[in-house]
Structure 1
Amino acid sequence: MNNQLEQARKFHELHRSGTPLVLVNAWDAGSAQIIQGAGGQVIATGSWSVAAAHGYDDGEKLPFDLVLSNLQRISQSVDLPVTIDIESGYGPSPEIIKNNVLKVIECGAVGVNIEDQKIHEPGLYPVEEQVLRITAVREAGVDTSIPLFINARTDIFFETPSAEHGEAHLEAALQRAHAYAEAGAHGIFVPGLCNEELIARLCQQSSLPVNVMVSPDSPSLQRLASLGVARISYGPRPYLILMDALKQAAVRALALQEL
């Protein structure tokens, strides 16, 4: 418990605007160990990669028991803080989400991503409803005396193409960031946002550290740092890169048997 408490405190300290925490997302114990060996400061899972590595689609299709067992193996295999993507919380109610997060903490995590995207239907949870879900996550941390880092993800910028992002999207994101902060969140995660001006303004106006996800259209890591970003995630890209390399290696190897 003491080590988990120390890791939780360290994880909070690593979120600094302009000096972003870079997270190359892992999906199992082996990939977590590679990232630790490469100099990673934190191990962060990505739900898409974890699901794919187990043969499932994303969207809470991976049974929660497998999510937990995978998390436990990761936590036991590294000496770094571990944060886990729990999608929308794997539950229809705040009470179930709180119970799930208690299990996540028991398995060694010191941080969670929880998103406002509905899993089984289109659209986002209304702000008021998502606030209750984030409050439940916070209560789980309080009950265990672990200062769990709650990274509140909003999918506002995933709902429309990046070229169409504008003032209305920024205002909606800021409204949610403020509400989520009041509920106990410690960071705001805005995957899909690539526009430099909007990133800079979000970083300036949000009371929460800003987390962006790397994409082909994203500014460079150095530029993101200068814009005030506090956390940069790679999402499914590491897994996709490695799976493509595996596919190409398999194609070359299997072609030899046809000679």
Structure 2
Amino acid sequence: MNSELKAKAELFRSLHVPGRPLLLANAWDAASARVAERAGAAAVATTSSGVSWTLGTADGDHVDRGLALELTARVAAAVSVPVSADIEGGYAADPEGVARTVRGVLATGAVGINIEDSHDGGPAPLRAVDDQAARIAAARRAADEEGVPLFVHARTDTYLRGAGDLGETLERAAGYLAAGADGVFVPGVGDPAVVAALAEGIDAPVGILAGPGAPPVSVLASAGAARVSLGSAVAEAAYALVDRAARELLATGTYASVAGGIPWGELNALMLREG
């Protein structure tokens, strides 16, 4: 099993190429993962928001770790491409807990993680660099002990939460890489000049969060991005369709909102296929 995981992890790592970024339309269940794979995705990443919502709770370290890992296992079993799990802050209060989470992630068949430095309910919006570095180091050790080169994508929310500038972001990135991270994810950045500065200043693949209003992939690629994710945007769009369809049905008794869906037979056949 570990040899298969190792090979898949090495493949996933190889997909992070500055200027030719890995593109991720983030999934939140087995069906969304399989649809993304069918579209040609080279890998699948979960979105913690979508995972939390589909499990009946809010994003932001509210979801039960066991439930999140069970869902990740279903996603990994549904596709043949590498899977990366968004584990928020690690689903744990301390580094050892993060290590337990990472061992659980590997047991699901996933070969990458996102781990963020946001600290909901903490004394500051972000964890201190040393604190977050210790959590990343624990994740790295846990994966190394399992013999799997897990891709640790260290997310820093300096821009997303207005908690730091370029200098702070580069300082955090350096600390996280020294602790064992393999890449750095900086959501909240859309300016190609800032993306270029991040790619220049971070000695590792840089991930960018995209969506409506963001520059196209070609521009982000030219700026040096190695990974472009849609994050929660796909799940948000899916739930927006539910909202539109329900409102239309209740207000006018019509059904135009649900036109254009994947036909039942097509989607059902896709899910009948063995993972």
TM-score higher than 0.5 here?
Answer: yes
* Corresponding position: 1:224 with 2:220: yes
Distance in 1, Cα, partners of 2:246 & 2:161: 36
Cα offset for 1:180?
1.0
Deviations 1:49-99 (A, max 9, x none): 111122211012111111011011111111110100111111111111101
Partner of 2:142: 140
When the two structures are superposed, what TM-score results if normalisation uses the length of structure 1? 0.93
Distance in 2, Cα, partners of 1:192 & 1:171: 15
2:237 to 233, 241, 245: 241
1:207 to 179, 203, 209: 203
1:17 alignment partner AA: P
Change in 2 beyond 3 A, CA 1:257/1:175? closer
Partner of 2:115: 114
Distance in 1, Cα, partners of 2:100 & 2:56: 26
Aligned-residue Cα RMSD (Å) equals 1.6
Cα offset for 1:257?
5.1
What percent of counterpart residues are identical? 37
Task: State the secondary structure of the residue aligned to 1:30.
Answer: helix
Distance in 2, Cα, partners of 1:249 & 1:217: 25
1:128 alignment partner AA: D
Deviations 1:10-41 (A, max 9, x none): 00000000000000000001110111111111
Partner of 2:34: 33
After TM superposition, what 4+ stretches of structure 1 lie above 4 angstroms from structure 2? 255-258
Query: How many residues of Structure 1 are paired with residues of Structure 2 in the alignment?
Result: 252
Partner of 1:81: 82
Task: State the secondary structure of the residue aligned to 2:165.
Answer: helix
User: What 5-or-longer segments of structure 1 have no aligned partner?
Assistant: 162-167
User: What 5-or-longer segments of structure 2 have no aligned partner?
Assistant: 255-275
Cα offset for 1:256?
5.6
Partner of 1:190: 186
Task: State the secondary structure of the residue aligned to 1:124.
Answer: coil
Q: 1:212–1:232: 8 Å Cα contact kept in structure 2? A: yes
When the two structures are superposed, what TM-score results if normalisation uses the length of structure 2? 0.88
Q: 1:85–1:114: 8 Å Cα contact kept in structure 2? A: yes
Mapping for residues 149-164 of structure 1, pairs under 5 Å: 149-160=151-162
